[in-house]
Chain A
Amino acid sequence: MSHSTTPADVLEALSVHRLRRLVDGLTDAAVVVDKDLRPLVWNAAYVQAVGLRPRRFQEVAGAEGMRCRDLLGLEVCEKECLAKACLKGQRPVRMDEIQGRSEQSPGAEASTLIVSAIPLENVAGETVAVLEVYRDVTAEARIQARYKVLLDRERRRAEILEEQVRARTADLERSLEELRATRAQLIQSEKLSSLGQLVAGIAHEINNPINFIYGNTDFLQQYVDAFLRLIDAYDKLEIAAEDRKRIENVKTEIDFSYLVQDTRKLLRSIRNGSERASAIIRDLRAFIHGRPMERSPVDLVKCIEQTLNLLTHEVRDRISVKREGSEQVPTVLCNEGQINQVFMNLLLNAIQAIQGRGTITIRFYERDGGVAVDVTDTGVGIPDATLLKVFDPFFTTKPVGEGTGLGLSLSYSIVDAHGGKISAQSKVGVGSTFTVWLPRDVQPKVRGAEEHARASS
């Protein structure tokens, strides 16, 4: 310290003293450098960060041309010097997450620093030096990194869990769907079996009365003809005029000629009614009994084509028929006549569902060890409530006399007797799809006949 001191010297000495006190007071490594980055003031933490003993540090730091970056060189010093940025901008500069040096203890964890550069001004307001503060945040960074790892792991675990939940939900939904389908099938076959018994009972009960009407009509016709012949013979007799007049009076009174005509009409309508009733009974018989079934390998594509040929008249140019997947369809062991009947029912329904122009698409595909056939129409569609009933016996939406309501339930029992499945999907205004699935090879299911034997005995 000099003996001759100017007030400026004193002030400066005071400032330097205060600056030293300030830097010493910082727990973080800190150094004050001049415009040429020469270290002027530093604290113990800085010395420690540089990694030299205090005395040795003194020597090194005091050397000619020594800069802060030579003492505590960081990667960032090469790329952008914070002190220079601070001098240039005349304002504090701060940079986070700076990699510290690690060459002193190789293998050790690299330290993480927050470096700040604060401009220091003289009395005239000029920036003459920079205070560099190196805060070591390695521990915090380590905790943060650890936290991040944990968070990531937690997030991954949650994702896996979510994925599992999604998969399980999908599984459950699938099972539920299968259960629903099985339940629908069960309800349907239960309905059919109890209805089958009911129908068998009714069919049996009304069979005899229909027989009386149906069979006796012929006799009645014969008898009426005989009476008329007799009357005719009487009319041709030569009788007294007044007798003739008496007979004519009776004829007028009873409107004889009308009665003769109308009796013929009556007989025709009785015959027509009883014939229709017997036809229904015949259908019912087919419905109740799985007829003795002869099975052979059947080409379903050929079946459909044959059935379509019979329907050419109905289809004409109003409906275009598309086939999909019909190139290679394996044969199915089934009763060809019965399966033809099923396709006939499905195709007829499809045709009737299409008002005006439309398309019927027949799609063949293999599934679950069998062959499935979709018959899709672009028809009016079936409302959900109706869709539940389409396989019920006697359910029909067709006008009286046009359908017995047995077509689809008959199809259902035929497919069921083959160990197959039939199902329907529909959307009003879009169309319907009926799917028949038949196993490629199956043991015939014996039912119906025995059930009826039980029901009728």
Chain B
Amino acid sequence: MPEQAPEILILAVDDEELNNEMIERAFRGKKNCRVIGASSGAEALELLAKEPVDIMLVDHSMPRMNGVQFLEQAMRIVPDAVSVMVTGFPELKEVVEARHRGLVRHLVAKPWKTEDLVQAVDRALQMREMRRAVGKLKDPG
């Protein structure tokens, strides 16, 4: 088997599992991308402990633990992962503040267009690459 680029693991967190299914659909066939879904923040945290997640696509309005609360815990487990918030209400004060804090890197408005979602993930990956490159320059070795 030829050497492959490392797999990009995407974690979709939405209490509506049909949304997670759609995210899986959107990245099906995109090379190196694998999507795993979680229908609650708690379930997603369990997955994070087991899987090396690169990108988190997180809904905000979820029962018990909302998206921002989830990300607060998740970023401690996977500080290098890129967080994308998928929400119908990106103007919510809590979401806006989370963006200011850097907890949310990117926003995708719901209802989304598949291409917007894919583009947001591409941008998020590029940003991560750039951050990594800058990090290496600052701290070589």
Contact = CB atoms under 8 A, between A and B. Distances in A.
Contacts of B25: 216, 219
Interface stretch (A24-32, A150-158, A449-457): A449-457
B3 interface: no
A288 B88 CA distance: 12
B66 A457 contact: yes
Interface stretch (B16-24, B35-43, B71-79): B16-24
B9 to A, nearest CB: 21
A437 interface: no
A274 B111 CA distance: 9
Given A215-B113, A274-B111, A208 B19 contact: yes
A328 B91 CA distance: 37
A285 interface: yes
Interface residues of B, number: 21
Given A204-B61, A208-B16, A208-B18, A215 B114 contact: yes
A91 B121 CA distance: 127
Interface in B67-100: 88-89, 91-94, 96
A204 B88 contact: yes
B22 A216 contact: yes
Given A281-B88, A450-B93, A456-B61, A207 B110 contact: yes
Given A216-B22, A453-B94, A204 B112 contact: no
A212 B18 contact: yes
A214 interface: yes
A200 B111 CA distance: 15
Interface of B: 16, 18-19, 22, 25-26, 61, 66, 88-89, 91-94, 96, 109-114
8 contacts: A211-B111, A212-B16, A215-B114, A216-B25, A218-B113, A288-B89, A292-B91, A453-B92
* 7 tightest Cβ-Cβ pairs between the two chains A and B: A207-B88, A289-B91, A211-B111, A449-B93, A214-B111, A278-B111, A208-B16
